[in-house]
Structure 1
Amino acid sequence: MAFACQRDSYAREFSTVVASCSPAEVKTDVNGKKGILKGFHVVLKDTLLFPEGGGQPDDRGFLNDIPVLQVTRQGPDAVHFVQMPLNLDSEVHVTLDWGRRFDHMQQHSGQHLITAIADLMFGFKTTSWELGRQRSTIELDTPEVIPEQVEAIEQTVNEKIRQHIPVIVRVVSVDDPEVEKVRSRGLPDDHAGPVRIIDIEGIDANMCCGTHVSNLSHLQVIKILGTEKGKKNKTNLLFLAGNRVLKYVERSYTVEKALTSLLKNGPDEHVEAVEKMQKSVKLLQKTNLNLLRDLAVLTAQNFKSRADRGPLFSLHRKDGDNEFMNIVTSEIGTEETLIFLTVGDEKTSGLFLLAGPSELVEKLGPRVAELLEGKGAGKRGRFQGKANRMSRRPEVEVLLREALAGWQPTEE
């Protein structure tokens, strides 16, 4: 059967009855952290909340005052995941997150329109699509779509929107001859019941389970952002429909205002100003790098010229890098001196280098990494790596001085 959300995609609330409720767990992924959420799977006699399918994400809403966190399709049923149980045969009032639904309707119907026009005008077949959180992607079975073709598709789809063309949902039996005539990538293996056909009058007829606008005018506008190279000689077309276009314009204007204030010029001059800044930054970086190299040489020479220099040279420099440490080490030499260098934050993370007689470095390197709560590796009298607790440098220095005090070089 078709769910209530498929029979009337504009309905925002209705009442139904609980058909089943059972304990369940779902996997979660919040900001890259995976977990398990415990709750209940609820099946209703009918539902206003669309289960994920056809490239369209699932709806959100409430069963009474209980938030629905996920809706999936299992055969003919829509399964709602909630965190409170509902009694069997009890009546529930279903309310819909309309903002999320209408956004999905605009993007999904927009995809159908773009797909149809791309095929009609240039023979580009759609092989898949993704309704993203900020923008959507249509994968076209062609290695290239030139800018003139993108412009022609965008212009044509917006002309169709301005023509107020109806979008009609028809339901036919699975053995109806019309099923063979409409565009489709095939029915799911677990499909049951009649077939829904989304008919953009005079443009396209396509089998689809998703929710759609009833008239192309409800799409408001479509903006094709551009294309990207896809996989296996395919091209990805990026687009926005409806309210997403308005939000995109608002975000773009906010960025434009901020850049105007920072760069002290008009929007038409932003790119030129940023390019000049990039050239200046590269020149400064090159100058700083040269100065840092010179400083490394002077630091080493200063140590070597001291009459009271000891067997240990230890130095931390916040703005140094690996090259700085390597230059200092090479200039001082490691035959008679144990060198401990660090760069980065004085308290937390950075880089370290321990260099000197091979047998000492081989013995002390792993212990230095352990004290700094970092990792490293080495060979031929050098051990270097990353430190996560630079505040423990004094402890490393104590370790090194104690090791030097009791060390006698091995005679060859």
Structure 2
Amino acid sequence: MPFACQDNSYIKAFSTSVVAVSEAKCKVPNQEGKDEIIQGYEVILNDTILFPEGGGQPDDRGTINGIPVLRVTRRGADAVHFIKSPLKIEDNADLVVDWKHRFDHMQQHSGQHLITAIVDHKFGFPTTSWDLGKTVSFIELDTPTLTPQQIKEVENECNEKIRAGTKVIVHVTEVGSKLLENVRARGLPDDHVGSVRIVEIEGVDSNMCCGTHVKTLSDLMCVKLLSAEKGKKGKTNLYFLVGDRVLDYIDRRYPEEKSMTKLVKCGPSQHVEAVDRTIKQLKQVQKTSLTLLRELAVLEAKNLTQEAKENKYIRLHRKEGNNEYMNIIANELKDVTDSFLFLTVGDEKGEGLFLFSGNDKILSAIQKPVCDAIKGKGAIKNARMQGKASNMKGCKGAEDIVKLFIREQGLSS
């Protein structure tokens, strides 16, 4: 028999009894969205309004006697609720569903049925899978392309059906029933037992499905098809929003649009043109800056030539430099001196890049203590050690290490 949540997906609270309880571990997403294994209890109830995951729809959230339900899965004919506190067999169980979470799933799932059916009927592109994402959902279509005109036609027809208040009817039947002969279906799960549900969008589609759905398409409010993007193996992913997610999307995007208007000093219709123009200008500035930086590196090397001939240690820092800047200086000086170079670029009090140039004996000896001082990582190659430092404040300590080693090895001039 279907669960109470499948008989009536609009039930928000429900009372039943506990049938079975057992200790268990379960993977549950933490606040960062990463799965962690939690010790708790698996609870099976006489019935439930908390939908167990299935048919592409994630499981519900809610409470049993005030205890948060962290996962709901299906095991044969049973819905298994995972909670952290124990219950006793035959205890009364008062269930409350997280309605915002549930209704969102109902809107997206019914919307998926509607979009899938219309795409298939209009263009003959079947849906091969779908994903109910946290903010945006998509269906995978068995076609390499979907044109903007086709997307608009599907969106328009979806919203026409919504405005018409088209009914969504759930039929419950048995395996082998004639009702199953003309429905869209991908087959029953291997562990399926009991009756079969058919979700019918009146005059549009009939589909075998276990999920929770709206009673009328008017509850979907609207459908917005966002984009069609290349999928796997010659297929296309059609991304969409339904109902409250459309409003949430506008709530997020409108403040961003207002901020962009202030930044680029033009209306929304000109944002792309303004940003494109700014990017081109920035690229030109970067190109000019890079050319000047290269020329500056050559001049810096010339200015250091005499000092490099007289001293065994040369130190130079430039905040605005980069790896290429340091390498140009090292290349310009390598044939005129055997001095040890310590070059850095970036924030003197934060992160930066470094380059040490000298003989391999010095580099190998100082690699670990110097990297420790500047909290950096660097590899030695072709008589150079360079890399990234996260503590440029440690450069003074690194200098002391290098100078001490030069003195101890009798390398001073």
Asked if Structure 1 and Structure 2 have the same fold, meaning a TM-score greater than 0.5 normalized by the shorter chain, the answer is: yes
Query: Conserved in 1, the CA contact under 8 Å of 2:309 and 2:339?
Result: no
User: Offset of 1:40 from its aligned partner?
Assistant: 1.6
Q: How far apart in 2 are the matches of 1:34 and 1:374?
A: 32
**Mean CA deviation greater in 312-321 or 127-136:** 312-321
How large is the RMSD of aligned CA atoms in angstroms? 1.9
Aligned residues: 409
Q: How far apart in 2 are the matches of 1:253 and 1:305?
A: 61
Q: How far apart in 2 are the matches of 1:187 and 1:307?
A: 79
Q: Secondary structure at the match of 2:153?
A: helix
CA pair 33-92 structure 1, distance change in 2 beyond 3 A: closer
Query: Conserved in 2, the CA contact under 8 Å of 1:28 and 1:37?
Result: yes
Correspondence 1:328-339 to 2 at 5 A: 328-333=329-334, 335-339=337-341
Q: How far apart in 1 are the matches of 2:187 and 2:175?
A: 12
User: Offset of 1:349 from its aligned partner?
Assistant: 3.2
Q: How far apart in 1 are the matches of 2:33 and 2:162?
A: 39
* Amino-acid identity (%): 52
Could you tell me which residue of structure 2 aligns to residue 360 of structure 1?
362
Query: Which residue type is aligned with residue 233 of structure 1?
Result: G
Q: How far apart in 1 are the matches of 2:233 and 2:118?
A: 23
Correspondence 1:14-25 to 2 at 5 A: 14-25=14-25
Correspondence 1:81-100 to 2 at 5 A: 81-100=82-101
CA pair 26-307 structure 1, distance change in 2 beyond 3 A: closer
Q: How far apart in 2 are the matches of 1:327 and 1:115?
A: 59
CA pair 33-101 structure 1, distance change in 2 beyond 3 A: closer
Query: Conserved in 1, the CA contact under 8 Å of 2:131 and 2:138?
Result: yes
**Mean CA deviation greater in 343-352 or 62-71:** 343-352
Could you tell me which residue of structure 1 aligns to residue 276 of structure 2?
275
User: Offset of 1:66 from its aligned partner?
Assistant: 1.1
Could you tell me which residue of structure 1 aligns to residue 110 of structure 2?
109
CA-to-aligned-CA distance 1:49-84 (integer Å, 9 cap, x gap): 111111111111111211111111111111111111
Correspondence 1:22-33 to 2 at 5 A: 22-30=22-30, 31=32, 33=34
Could you tell me which residue of structure 2 aligns to residue 292 of structure 1?
293
CA-to-aligned-CA distance 1:368-394 (integer Å, 9 cap, x gap): 334433322222211222223333222
Could you tell me which residue of structure 2 aligns to residue 254 of structure 1?
255
5+ residue gaps in structure 1?
Answer: none
Query: Conserved in 2, the CA contact under 8 Å of 1:71 and 1:79?
Result: yes
Q: How far apart in 2 are the matches of 1:367 and 1:254?
A: 50
Query: Conserved in 2, the CA contact under 8 Å of 1:165 and 1:217?
Result: yes
5+ residue gaps in structure 2?
Answer: none
Query: Conserved in 2, the CA contact under 8 Å of 1:145 and 1:235?
Result: yes
User: Offset of 1:309 from its aligned partner?
Assistant: 4.8
**Mean CA deviation greater in 264-273 or 353-362:** 353-362
Q: Secondary structure at the match of 2:338?
A: coil
Q: How far apart in 1 are the matches of 2:146 and 2:261?
A: 34
Could you tell me which residue of structure 1 aligns to residue 394 of structure 2?
392
Instruction: Verify: 1:40 aligned to 2:41, yes or no.
Output: yes
Q: Secondary structure at the match of 1:39?
A: strand
Q: Secondary structure at the match of 1:375?
A: strand
Q: How far apart in 1 are the matches of 2:386 and 2:308?
A: 28
CA pair 111-2 structure 1, distance change in 2 beyond 3 A: same
